[in-house]
Structure 1
């Protein structure tokens, strides 16, 4: 089925997976090495991001839909930390914001284009 998808849909899938992996890597690196807050328990915040990875890789439409909602929690964290933290946390928060926006856009476009493709195939 993945080979029948248009290139734009394949691109949004790749962007969504890359953005999600980027958020996971950033969250772990941020809390464990780059700018630790002293509480390594904050690294657990990336666990909910690991859950949808399999669904995105299997191209499950439902996963794209709920990830586009989940990502706003991390976007909010990025905005709060970009405006309230100091030092290295500020650029890390900006990177988090950019990754969140890329993930949301990729998921939203992926769902839209797949629905358009399904509608065109059914017509």
Structure 2
């Protein structure tokens, strides 16, 4: 495989894990430690992300594609929540992390297939 593609894949995987863990930590802080959060909401927010975790750990490119589909829900929710007058910093952080993770997961799946 081309050295440039290997470097891009390595960088994308690093960004994937940073944003993936960032989203999970954000949901935990948001629902378990801040006012207005709840454990059932935390479960609803984290369960879809955890469904693809085994495939991500095995670096299967289809898991990255499924992650992109799942992230579309988070992106849509984030855009709606950011536009609300009652928005908080969590809404913006969720949107930014979701968008970065979406793009890096999409490119990771592409670069995985080039192997």
Which category describes the TM-score, using the shorter chain as reference length? Answer: 0.7 to 0.9
Matched, 1:107 2:113: no
Which residue of structure 2 aligns with residue 43 of structure 1?
A: 42
Work out the CA distance in 2 between the residues paired with 1:95 and 1:31.
Answer: 14
Structure 1: which 4+ aligned runs deviate by more than 3 Å?
none
Matched, 1:27 2:66: no
Q: Deviation at 1:35? A: 4.0
Equivalent position SS for 1:84: coil
Larger radius of gyration: 1
Which residue of structure 2 aligns with residue 8 of structure 1?
A: 8
Q: Which 5+ residue runs of structure 2 have no aligned equivalent?
A: none
Count of residues in correspondence between the two structures: 110
Q: Which 5+ residue runs of structure 1 have no aligned equivalent?
A: 119-123
Q: TM-score, normalised by structure 1?
A: 0.79
Give me the CA root mean square deviation: 1.8
Which residue of structure 1 aligns with residue 88 of structure 2?
A: 90
Which residue of structure 2 aligns with residue 121 of structure 1?
A: none
Equivalent position SS for 1:59: coil
Alpha-carbon contact 1:83-1:90 (below 8 Å) kept: no
Work out the CA distance in 2 between the residues paired with 1:113 and 1:46.
Answer: 26
Equivalent position SS for 2:33: helix
